[in-house]
Amino acid sequence: MVLKMKNATYIFILYFCIINLSLQAQSIGDFYQGGVVFYTYPSGGGLIVDIADLSNPNPPSGTTPLDSLLSRWGGYSDFVAGTSVDSIGAGETNTQNFMNFYPDLNGCYAVHQCVNSTRGGYNDWFLPSRNELIEIFNHKSLIDSIALLNGGHTFDAFAQQYPYWSSSQTPSLTDFRYAYVAYSSQPVFDLLRSKILEYKVRAVRSFSANAGINSKPIVNKEIVKIVNLLGQEISPEPNIPLLYIYSDGSVEKKMIIKE
């Protein structure tokens, strides 16, 4: 009788832990709300990066196919007030201030591509700040693998020699011709480039601390395959994070805990 009680208690505790795991906050590498989580705040919530680059429907020249894949940051020497902050969490504010200066939604600039995006069914995308862009590339391999699993592409899929724009303008008080960029395949991030050069754009959005709990309807779905974080198909193994890909296109990250 005592042995049965211990077993029952053990099962109850295990079941309770599984419930808590299913309700915990999103973590880095989750495919969630239209993109991949690349940063989480200690208080909850975080930042999501799109799984594909944004093209330019209104290229400034339009003379080559490459022009439709790249965008300028802004005017060569325009001072765009409120866009010089480079910290994590500043991308959204930089973007809003940029739109105050360049309100034309038919514009050809990098921020316009983000603000006009409805990727994943969301319309609150923005251009990441310098440090947000750095954080994205700190998780480049993971983001690339999740993007490929969900119909996106890697950062180096095209125009590999071109960097990505951040929303952070140079903090210079005398020369406003430059903004920060980052190369996805190079560990050098303190790079300033002329605002009228054309570079790649990858949008970001934020999610709140309480988003995700019971946010999706329950639907009938079947597991199509199980892969590890590198995208390799694998049989379920305990104590390692795995991605479960379902027939409805959704992806869940799970880990079987075994002592």
**Residue-wise pLDDT tens digits, 182-215:** 998 876 666 899 999 999 999 999 998 765 433 3
- Cα separation of 23 and 11, whole Å? 19
Q: Provide, rounded to the nearest whole percent, the portion of the chain with pLDDT above 70.
A: 76
Q: What is the mean pLDDT of residues 42-71?
A: 86
Question: Can you give the pLDDT at residue 188?
Answer: 60
CB-based contacts of 156, cutoff 8 Å, min separation 6: 184, 185
Average pLDDT over residues 218-245: 71
Cα-based distances in Å from 129 to 36, 106, 245, 247: 17, 22, 31, 36
Amino acid, res. 237 = E
Q: Higher model confidence: residue 139 or residue 237?
A: 139
Domain ranges for the chain, please list them.
Answer: 31-207, 216-259
Residue 245 has what pLDDT?
A: 72
Rg (CA), the chain: 21
Tell me the C-alpha distance between 58 and 107, whole Å.
7
Residue position matching structure tokens 């003379």: 63
DSSP conformation letters of 152-213? ---TTSS-TTS-EEEEEEP--SS--SEEEEE-TTSS---EEEETTS-BB---EEEE-TTTTT
pLDDT in tens, 142-173: 999 999 999 999 999 988 889 999 999 998 88
